[in-house]
Amino acid sequence: MLISGKGGTGKTTVAALLALTLAERGYNVLTLDADSVPNLAASLGVPPDVAESIVPLAKNEELAEERTGVRPGEGWGLLFSLTPKVDDIAERYGIKVRDNLKLVVVGSIDASKEGCMCPAIALAKAFLLHTVMKSRDVVIVDSEAGAEVFGRGLAEKFDFNLTVSEPTVKSLRIAGKLMRMAKELGILKNVLVVNKVRDNLRAMQLIANALRNNQLHTHLIRWDDNVVKAEEEGRPLTTLPRNSPVREDVFHLTLKLESLHKRPA
């Protein structure tokens, strides 16, 4: 499951709450943070000292050297292994948040943005591909921007793309573009998650006007002052009250995803 969307819309919030909810429902959940500024760990309640000591996979030159045979920046040309060993990475480098909830901080796999760190990025991509293809459990990827960084080959391995948007015309149009892109790249099930909703009816009108696509799977998540307060106080989302609006709305999102998963695309 890929979580896409413009910065600030609530991708990390949704990814973290989905992960926690699915883990509570008994799934084995692996969360992957593919943002260039990873912050999923903090949302999931990983202690700050642990979170700060994590080296993202896409920046882990030592591991890349070990697995691809090349030190970054050392005239590697085309000679590094494109099939590095990655099957043990989640086991060895994953942070255990709960018994059935793990996190691997991948970092950004967008080589054009990250400068020349190609062996590490190749390793991170190989890991993502392997994980998304092989895993029978739930894998949630919190990624900045859209599916385009994943490209063909990787994108189409996702069962779901969840594009997160705010209830504004501008944000919804961007979300519409990202969803078209995800579809073109081969992701069959796309869900528009409209977050920070203060007025459901108004949000539905905006969605209808901005997107004009009545086949769209849409899910609304309410604005929640508990999230603002947690953010202000530096508390993880695990501290939100059980009856807080975002938790209820994400719970219903998991039910929707479960039922969509059983249906053919």
Ligand X SMILES: Nc1ncnc2c1ncn2[C@@H]1O[C@H](COP(=O)(O)OP(=O)(O)O)[C@@H](O)[C@H]1O
Judged by the rule CB under 6 A, the positions of this chain that interact with ligand X are 5, 7-13, 195-196, 221, 223-224, 227-228, 231, 246
According to DSSP, the β-strands at 95-98 and 101-105 are antiparallel
Nearest approach in angstroms of CB 134 to Mg ion is 26
Residue closer to ligand X by CB (options 177, 261) is 177
Residue 165 and residue 171 in contact, taking contact as beta carbons nearer than 8 Å:
yes
Nearest approach in angstroms of CB 84 to ligand X is 29
Nearest approach in angstroms of CB 94 to ligand X is 20
Nearest approach in angstroms of CB 186 to ligand X is 23
Residue closer to ligand X by CB (options 97, 126) is 97
**Part in contact with Mg ion (CB under 5 A); list of ranges 10-18, 41-49, 89-97, 125-133:** 10-18
Residue bearing tokens 């949630």: 140
Residue 60 is a binding residue for Mg ion (CB under 5 A): no
Quick one: what does residue 8 bind among Mg ion, ligand X, none, with the CB cut-off 5 to 8 Å set by partner type?
Answer: ligand X
Does residue 193 sit in helix, strand or coil?
strand
Query: Max alpha carbon distance in the chain (Å)?
Result: 58
Residue closer to ligand X by CB (options 157, 196) is 196
Tokens (6 digits) for 17: 């709450």
- Helices in 109-149 by DSSP H: which ranges? 111-114, 118-134
Closest residue to Mg ion: CB criterion: 12
Query: Strand order in 95-98's β-sheet?
Result: 95-98, 101-105, 29-34, 138-143, 2-5, 160-165, 189-197, 217-222
Residue 75, CB-side half-sphere exposure with 13 Å CA sphere = 0
Residue 43 is a binding residue for Mg ion (CB under 5 A): no
